[in-house]
Amino acid sequence: MKNIDMDGSVARSFSLFLLRIFIGWHLLFEGLIKVMDPSWTAHGFLKGSKWIFSDFFLMIANNSALLGIVDLLNQWGLVLIGLALFIGVFTRIAAISGVVLLMLYYVCMPPFMGLDYASTTEGSYMIVNKNLIEVAALLILSLFSAGEHFGLDLLRRRRTGKLAF
């Protein structure tokens, strides 16, 4: 491996690799915990929404059929996005999917002053919380083809000659 990326920066490649596997692990673990807990539901989280789309989130929380679909999408979305990031396959699709999912979390319960939530969150935030930080990191991963840095997307590119998704 003469050059790992366009400018030969091993440090950049390793940094993107670490960022990708750390976020991948976080999302994968969050998803697995939800999948393994038969009583887990997004109901309480959705019910706690107080911002611009709160009516939409409350409608989902109050409709058992929709809530069941959202629960499954959330659980398995986290697992699949996390796994794809962790092993570096379809990284761009996984990163963009992660951005969408995390922005839904953010819009449902943004850390704005004056919005009091029944559930507690760790820390004290104003505007920027862990969801927004991970969104920014996932955008970076999607822009720099992070799966090609010590990931399975690199093998795909070498085999097909095409950019990974």
Q: Give the pLDDT mean for 31-48.
A: 96
Band (86; pLDDT cuts 50, 70, 90): very high
> What is the pLDDT averaged over residues 39-60?
94
Separation between Cα atoms, residue 90 and residue 73, nearest integer Å: 18
Q: Name which of 77, 75, 61 is nearest 109 in CA terms.
A: 61
Q: What is the mean pLDDT of the chain?
A: 86
What pLDDT does residue 4 have? 47
Percentage with pLDDT > 70 across the chain = 82
- Banded model confidence at residue 85, pLDDT cuts 50, 70, 90: very high
Cβ(107)–Cβ(101) under 8 Å?
A: no
Region 120-148 average pLDDT: 84
* Mean pLDDT of the 130-154 span: 86
- DSSP of 104-143, one letter per residue? HHHHHS---TT---SS--SS--SS--HHHHHHHHHHHHHH
